[in-house]
Amino acid sequence: MLVYVIRRLAQSVGVLLAMSMLVFASVYLIGNPADILISMDADQAERARLVRAMGLDQALPLQYWNFLQHALRGDLGNSFVHGVPAISLVFERLPATLELACVAMLIAIALGVPLGLWAGLRPHSWIGRSIMTGSILGFSLPTFWVGLMLIVVFAVQLAWLPAGGRGPTREVLGLSLSIFSAEGWKHLLLPAVNLALFKLALVTRLTRASTHEALTQDYVKYARAKGLSPARVVGVHVLKNILVPIVTVVALEFGALVAFAAVTETIFVWPGAGKLIIESIGSLDRPVIVAYLLVVVSMFTLLNLLVDIAYSSLDPRVRLDEQSA
């Protein structure tokens, strides 16, 4: 296993390098950050000084080479807009995004697995059909529209929950979290439900398909033939075996929740890393864009590695050495 982990980590270094090159090239093609960040009233001398201070007076390959040299020392540069280290800015906003993604994924799992099990065990019942119809809506409805409708209904019409922002936070292990207060949950609930909707539909359909397949397997038929209770057949033989695809998809989709939470964070004014990257793209704040994407890619790489290890633990037939061959 150690050889496999080392090989995967070495591959991730190549992925990070390629991604950073693409980001540098894409931001350069989009436009010059100096045109956005420097005031139109600045004279040529002031403009040249600011361009030189941001390192934009050098050729792009030289800019990238300087970035790599500093990145090896843990310095990803200072934000053009905020004037602080870009990686610090990302890590400052990341706890809010992780909190939102964790609550959204818990909602998706807590509702999706039982609903999928019910639909898989009773596929022809009206409840099972209704569950599958509802999951199609979860896939089809745009996130931004659902978010706006949640605000209109629960914040404007009913006035049950706030329309946006983040509630009071508490420091826990160095992270600012809002889940330890009732007011924090009020602010968290709407964006978490909005972000969880697509994943809820995905987990429901995946659980339903896995359950339907597991019921046709010989070990389930044998368990029923032995006279085991339906609850034991489902809880021990069905649920245990469908955990493999569910764990794999859920872990990977958690990374997607973090990476694509930008729309939800923007709609609900949630001060997370997703909202930060939208603002940074608008101002061509390249150090923040690169730092954010490096963090997200690293997270995806780590999640993939953990998924492979969990996969081999849940299914003894899977060996990491065979996967790496």
Question: Domains of the chain: which residue ranges?
Answer: 86-212+243-324
> So what CATH class is 86-212+243-324?
mainly alpha
Would you state the pLDDT for residue 318? 56
Closest alpha carbon to 67 in 4, 30, 24, 105: 24
Pick the range with the lowest mean pLDDT from 188-197, 227-236, 310-319. 310-319
Question: Is it the case that residue 88 has pLDDT exceeding 80?
Answer: yes
Residue 121 CA from chain centroid, whole number = 31
CA–CA separation, 184 and 182 (whole Å)? 5
Sign of CA dihedral 302, 303, 306, 312: negative
For the cut 50, the answer to whether the pLDDT of residue 325 exceeds it is no
Phi, psi angle pair for 84, to nearest 5°? -120, 165
Q: Rounded to whole angstroms, how far apart are CA atoms 58 and 60?
A: 6
Give yes or no for residue 94 having a pLDDT over 80.
Answer: yes
Q: Say yes or no to pLDDT of 161 above 50.
A: yes
- Interval 255-294: pLDDT, tens: 888 878 888 999 998 888 888 888 888 877 888 888 888 8
Q: What is the C-alpha to C-alpha distance for residues 241 and 314, in angstroms, rounded to an integer? A: 8
Condensed to tens digits (0 to 9), the pLDDT of residues 196-248 reads: 999 999 999 998 988 888 887 777 787 778 777 777 777 777 877 788 778 87
pLDDT reported for residue 100: 92
* % of residues, the chain, pLDDT over 90: 16
Per the CB < 8 A criterion, the answer to whether 274 and 237 are in contact is no
With beta carbons less than 8 A apart as the criterion, state whether 176 and 95 touch: yes
Quick check: 321 pLDDT over 60?
no
pLDDT of residue 134: 87
Per the prediction, the chain carries an average pLDDT of: 81
Residues 245, 9: Cα–Cα separation, whole Å = 23
| DSSP H helices in 215-319 | 218-225, 230-232, 239-259, 262-267, 273-282, 286-314
